[in-house]
Amino acid sequence: MLARIILRLFINAVALWVAAWALRGIQLSGEFWEVLLVALVFGLVNALIRPVFLLLSLPLLILTLGLFTLAINAFMLMLTAVLTTSLEVAGFWTALWGSILISLVSFALSSLVGEPAKG
C-alpha cells in the first residue's frame, strides 16, 4: 500500500515536470523535494477536492457529455499552483493543456509500471 502511494507520488511528479517542460505557461521550480511536495499537494487536491467539484457540477457534466471534466482538471491544477510556491500556471488555457498532458503522461507511466489507471 505504501509502495503504491510512493509510486503514484513519483508518477505525479514526473507528469508535472513534463508539463512544465513542454508548456511555456507552467513553471515548476525548486529542488527534487519541492517538486515531490507539489506532486503530493496535486494528488491530495485530486483525491479530496476534485470529487466534490465533480458532484456539484454533475448537471454540466451530463450536459457536456463529460467534457466539463477537462475544465475541472484545469481548475485542480490552478488550485495546486495557488496552494504551492513551486508551481506557477499562467492561466486557464495553459492549465487546461497542462492537465491534459499530465493525464496522458500519468496514464502512460502507470501503464508502464503496471499501476492500475484511475479515471
**Within a domain: 6:** no
Evaluate if residue 48 carries a pLDDT over 80: yes
Evaluate if residue 65 carries a pLDDT over 90: yes
**Within a domain: 18:** no
Percent of the chain scoring above 70 in pLDDT: 96
**What's residue 119's pLDDT?**
52
Helix (H) or strand (E) holding 49: none
Helix (H) or strand (E) holding 22: helix 2-22
Q: What is the mean pLDDT of residues 57-62?
A: 96
**Within a domain: 118:** no
Q: What is the mean pLDDT of residues 34-50?
A: 96
**Within a domain: 22:** no
Which residue would you say has higher pLDDT here, 103 or 117?
A: 103
Non-local CB neighbours of 13 within 8 Å, separated by 6+ positions? 35, 36, 38, 39
**Within a domain: 106:** yes
**What's residue 117's pLDDT?**
56
**What's residue 114's pLDDT?**
80
**What's residue 1's pLDDT?**
81
Q: How far apart are CA 115 and CA 20, in angstroms?
A: 23
Average pLDDT taken over every residue of the chain: 94
In this structure, are strands 26-28 and 87-89 parallel, antiparallel, or unpaired?
Answer: antiparallel
Contact 106, 15 (CB under 8 A): yes
**What's residue 118's pLDDT?**
60
**Within a domain: 88:** yes
Evaluate if residue 37 carries a pLDDT over 90: yes
State how many domains the chain has. Answer: 1
Range of the domain at 62: 27-113
Encode burial over 53-89: b for 16+ CB neighbours within 10 A, e otherwise. Answer: beeebeeebeeeeeebbebbbbbbbbbbbeebebbeb
**Within a domain: 14:** no
